[in-house]
Amino acid sequence: MEIVYHERSNVFHLLNDTISYVMMVLPNGHLGQIYFGKKIHDRENLSDLLELAVRPMASYVFPGDREFSLEHVKQELPVFGTGDYRSPAVEICQENGSRISDFQYCSHHVEKGKPTLSGLPATYTEDATEASTLVVELMDPVTKVKAELCYTIFAEGGILSKSVRFHNAGSGPVQLERAMSLCLDLPDCDYEWLQLSGTWARERHIKPRKLTMGIQSIGSMRGNSSHEHNPFLVLKRPCATEQQGEVFGFSFIYSGNFLIQAEVDAHDTTRILVGIHPDTFSWRLESEESFQAPEAVMVYTDQGMNAMSQTFHRLYQKRLARGYWRDQVRPILINNWEATYFDFTEEQLLTIAQKAKECGVELFVLDDGWFGERSSDHAGLGDWTANTKRLPAGIKGLAERIEQIGMKFGLWFEPEMVNEDSDLYRMHPDWILSVPLRAKSHGRYQYVLDFSRKDVVDCIYKMMAKILKDAKVSYVKWDMNRSITECFSVTLPPERQGEVYHRYILGVYDLYDRLTREFPQILFESCASGGGRFDPGMLYYAPQGWASDDTDAVERMKIQFGTSLCYPISSIGSHVSVIPNHQVFRITPLHTRANVAYFGTFGYELDLNKLAGEEISEVKRQIAFMKEYRALLQFGIFYRLKSPFEGNEMAWMVVSEDKRTAIVGWYRILNVVNDRFTRVRLCGLDPGLCYQNTQTNSIRFGDELMNFGLVTSDVTAGEVPADKQPCVDFESRLYILKAVSISK
Ligand code: GLA
C-alpha cells in the first residue's frame, strides 16, 4: 500500500495490490477526482486523465476559457451555486445568507495507520502498517472554514475509507447545512443498483434497479438507520455476479439519519453521495469550533459480489467490532421473549433455563418485563430497577440462580426510552424529545429520551451501571423500539435545533462507549424492534445485532441472505423459535429452523419444556453440532450460492481459511414433484483437495464440487422409496465437507 504525491502535477495516488484512487488539485484550486477502481500503474502525469470539453450552456470558471466547468469535472468536495448544478457534498450558510463556498487546497500530510474519529464509531488499525491515511486540508478564503478530508487505504483488500472534518477558523459563526462524508464521481452509469430495504419483520431484502438518469436515493429520517433502508449500497456492472465482475460497495458507519444517493447527469456520469441526511441536519459552527462527519467505506472488487462481501466481513469483524468478544465464538443462548412475552415469574424463568441447560445452552437471556411496573408495553420504561414482585431477589438474585444452574445470565434494556407511566417521566417530563406546546406522538406507548443532553445520558448510565455492577450479567440486549418524532431539545437555542438528531446519536454512542469500557467482558447485542438499527455504527460497540423480530425460517432466509451482503455472519443474531411461527404462523421443520439459524449467532427463542422427547434429542444434537462448528460458521469465509430472491432454492456456504473444511446450507422453500436434477456449484474450495461429504459419504475433488457441483437432487419427491422419509415443504440440508487424503 502506498500514498504517492506527484508535486509537479499535483496528483495524489493511493494504491495497494487491488485498487487505485487518484485525485488532483484542479486548475481552480479545488480537489478533483481522476479515478477509483482496479489498481493501475502509477505515473507522474495521471493529471492528463482530467477530461475537459466545450459544453454549450455550461458556466465556466476562467475568463476566456470554455472548457473548465465545475458541472463537468469530477470533484471531492463540490458545492452548489458556482456552476456545478448537481447535488453538493457541502453547504455552508453564512452570516450574509450566501451558501457559496470555494474550498481551496492548502496542504496535505500522510499518516501511518488510521486516526480515530472523536466521539464516533470508525474502523481502526492495530498496527500502523495495516493502513495509510492521507489528510488533505482545504479552506474557503471568505469564511475561513477549513475542511480536512481524510482518506485511508488499507494494505489488504479493495478498501478506501473517507471522512471529513470541518473547522471554523474565521471570526464569525457559520451554519453547516450539509456535510456529506463521501462524494464519488464515476465516469459512467452502466451499473445495477442494489439496496437492502424492507420494514419491520422484513428487513434487508435485496432490491435491484438499473441506474438511470436523474437522482435515485435511499435514506432514513427516522432517527435510526431504520428497518426501511440500510446505510449500504452496491453498484455492480450488469454482468457482474456473485463470483465475478466489477462491484462497488458503499457503507456508512452511522446509526442515525442518512442519505445515500446516486445522481446520473445528462452526460451519464454518476455522482455518489453518502452522509448524514441533510434534510434533518444543520450544525452551527462558532469561531474555532469543529464538526466531524462520520466515516464512509468504499469497497471495490472485480471478483464479484461474494468478494465484496468478504472484504466487508473481514473489515467489520476484525477492524470495526472491538473488544473481548470480537474474536470469540458466540454463546448459544436462550431468550424468553417469544416463550413468555411479559407474562412470567422467576420460577418459570428458572424452569426454562434448567431445561435449556440440560440441552447444552450456555446463556439465559431475560428479555423485556423485569423492571419497574412493566407488565405490558404501557409502563415502566426508564425505571431500570428490578420488579421485586416478579423477581424477589432482584436481578442479582436471579443471575445467581442462573449461574448456579451452570449458565451465564443476560439482560434486556431499552435505555433510550421512557413510558409516560414511569417514575422517571413523572420526575422529568422535560427529558423527552418534544416540541413545547405541540402534541407529541408516541410509538408503542413510549417516548424518546433526549439523549442530546448529557444529564439524561448520565442518569441512564448510572441506573444501568448499577445493575451491571451488582449482578453477574454477561450479556446485554440493547433495544430501541420506536423512531424519533418531534425532534426538539429544550436545552438548545433555536439556531441549534438542527443538531438534535445527530447529538442524539452521539449521546447513544457515548453511553455505549462508557458501558463497553466499564464492562469489557459483557457481550452487547444491539436491537431495534428487530433489525431497525442494524448498521456498522452499532457493530463498533455491539459485535452482534438481532437481525429481525421475524424468526420464521423461510422469512429469515431472505433477511439473512440480504444482511450478508455487508455484515459478517458473526454479527447476525438468529434463533430457533416455535411453530406455528409467531410472526407468519408458518410450520417449518425443526431442522430447517436450525439450519438457517446456524448461519448466525444461534440460539433459541422458546420454552424447550414444551417440546416433545424426540424434538429435545434433536435440539441436543443441534447444540452439539453448533458447538463443534461455530468457529467455522461464524468466522469462516462466507459465500452466497443461490439467492432466495430468485427462485425456490437457496444455498450458501462457509469455508475455513485453510480450505480443509466447509459447510454448505441448502434450502428448498416449496416441495416440487418429479423435479429436475438439481445441484449447487460450490465456491472457495481447493480444486486439488478431496472432500468427504459427511451427509452422503461420497468423496469428491474440490474442482468437481465447484464445477459440476454438489448434487442436491431429491429422490423422494414423487414416489417415496420404502427406506426414505418423504420430503415436505421447507426442506433443508447441511453438507459438511472435510478434506481427506486418498490413495491414487
Ligand atoms: C423488540 C425486540 C424483541 C423484544 C421486544 C421486547 O421488539 O426486537 O426481540 O426484545 O422488543 O419488548
Q: Looking at 272, 302, 319, which one is the last position of a domain?
A: 319
Q: Which residue has a Cα nearest atom 6 of ligand 1?
A: 368
SS3 labels along 279-300? HHCCEEECCCCEEECCCEEEEE
Amino acid in the structure at residue 618:
E
344, 381, 527, best to mutate for ligand 1 pocket (most atoms within 8 Å of CB): 527
Q: Which atom of ligand 1 is nearest to the CA of 367?
A: 10
Please tell me the predicted confidence (pLDDT) of residue 721: 76
SS3 labels along 687-719? CCCEEEECCCCCEEEHHHHHHCCEECCCCCCCC
174 with 270, same domain: the answer is yes
Amino acid in the structure at residue 556:
R
Mean pLDDT of the chain, nearest integer: 97
Which position has the higher pLDDT, 732 or 717?
732
Distance 414 CA to ligand 1 centre (A): 9
Please report, for the domain that includes residue 680, its CATH number.
2.60.40.1180
614 with 533, same domain: the answer is yes
Q: Which atom of ligand 1 is nearest to the CA of 412?
A: 10
Q: Which residue has a Cα nearest atom 1 of ligand 1?
A: 529
Q: Span 649-653, mean pLDDT?
A: 98
Look-up of cell digits 505515473: 43
Query: Which 3 state secondary structure label does DSSP give 729?
Result: coil
Q: Which atom of ligand 1 is nearest to the CA of 530?
A: 8
pLDDT greater than 70 at residue 744: no
Q: Which atom of ligand 1 is nearest to the CA of 477?
A: 10
The DSSP 8-state label assigned to residue 64 in this structure reads T
Pocket of ligand 1 (CB under 6 A): 337, 367-368, 412, 479, 481, 527, 529-530, 546, 549
Distance 601 CA to ligand 1 centre (A): 17
Domain count, the chain: 3
Name the percent of the chain lying above pLDDT 90: 96
Distance 477 CA to ligand 1 centre (A): 9
Please tell me the predicted confidence (pLDDT) of residue 595: 98
Q: Which residue has a Cα nearest atom 7 of ligand 1?
A: 529
Look-up of cell digits 407529541: 440
pLDDT greater than 90 at residue 725: no
Q: Looking at 635, 668, 686, which one is the last position of a domain?
A: 635
Distance 479 CA to ligand 1 centre (A): 7
Please report, for the domain that includes residue 555, its CATH number.
3.20.20.70
477, 478, 481, 605, best to mutate for ligand 1 pocket (most atoms within 8 Å of CB): 481
416 with 511, same domain: the answer is yes
Q: Which residue has a Cα nearest atom 2 of ligand 1?
A: 529
The DSSP 8-state label assigned to residue 119 in this structure reads T
Q: pLDDT tier at 156 (50, 70, 90 boundaries)?
A: very high
Residue 590: exposure state from Cβ atoms within 10 A (0-12, 13-18, ≥19): middle
Q: Which atom of ligand 1 is nearest to the CA of 527?
A: 8
pLDDT greater than 70 at residue 376: yes
Distance 331 CA to ligand 1 centre (A): 20
CA 270, CA 257: separation in Å to the nearest integer?
23
Please tell me the predicted confidence (pLDDT) of residue 743: 59
349 with 226, same domain: the answer is no
Distance 367 CA to ligand 1 centre (A): 8
Structural domain boundaries, residue 671? 642-740
Q: Which residues contact 710 (CB under 8 A, 6 or more apart)?
A: 664, 666, 679, 680, 681, 682, 693, 700, 735
Q: What would the pLDDT profile of 427-440 be if each residue is shown by its tens digit?
A: 999 999 999 999 99
Q: pLDDT tier at 606 (50, 70, 90 boundaries)?
A: very high
Q: What would the pLDDT profile of 299-337 be if each residue is shown by its tens digit?
A: 999 999 999 999 999 999 999 999 999 999 999 999 999
pLDDT greater than 90 at residue 558: yes
CA 455, CA 106: separation in Å to the nearest integer?
40
Most distant pair of Cα atoms in the chain: their distance: 89
685 with 613, same domain: the answer is no
686 with 712, same domain: the answer is yes
Residue 417: exposure state from Cβ atoms within 10 A (0-12, 13-18, ≥19): buried
Please tell me the predicted confidence (pLDDT) of residue 383: 98
655 with 619, same domain: the answer is no
Q: Which residue has a Cα nearest atom 12 of ligand 1?
A: 368
203, 336, 337, 376, best to mutate for ligand 1 pocket (most atoms within 8 Å of CB): 337
Please report, for the domain that includes residue 247, its CATH number.
2.70.98.60
The DSSP 8-state label assigned to residue 371 in this structure reads B
Q: Which residues contact 342 (CB under 8 A, 6 or more apart)?
A: 368, 369, 374, 375, 376, 377
Task: Indicate the pairing of strand 572-573 with strand 544-546.
Answer: parallel
369 with 464, same domain: the answer is yes
Q: Which residues contact 628 (CB under 8 A, 6 or more apart)?
A: none
If one counts every other C-beta atom within 10 angstroms of the C-beta of residue 405, the result is 15
Distance 125 CA to ligand 1 centre (A): 34
299 with 339, same domain: the answer is no
731 with 619, same domain: the answer is no
First-to-last CA distance in the chain?
A: 44
Please tell me the predicted confidence (pLDDT) of residue 716: 65
Q: Which atom of ligand 1 is nearest to the CA of 549?
A: 8
Please tell me the predicted confidence (pLDDT) of residue 715: 67
Distance 374 CA to ligand 1 centre (A): 14
Compute the Cα dihedral for 36, 39, 43, 48 and give only its sign: negative
Taking CA atoms, 413 is separated from 63, 346, 365, 515, 550, in Å, by: 63, 18, 11, 13, 20
Q: Looking at 285, 304, 319, which one is the last position of a domain?
A: 319
Q: Which residues contact 743 (CB under 8 A, 6 or more apart)?
A: none
81 with 196, same domain: the answer is yes
pLDDT greater than 80 at residue 61: yes
276 with 290, same domain: the answer is yes
Catalytic residues: 479, 549
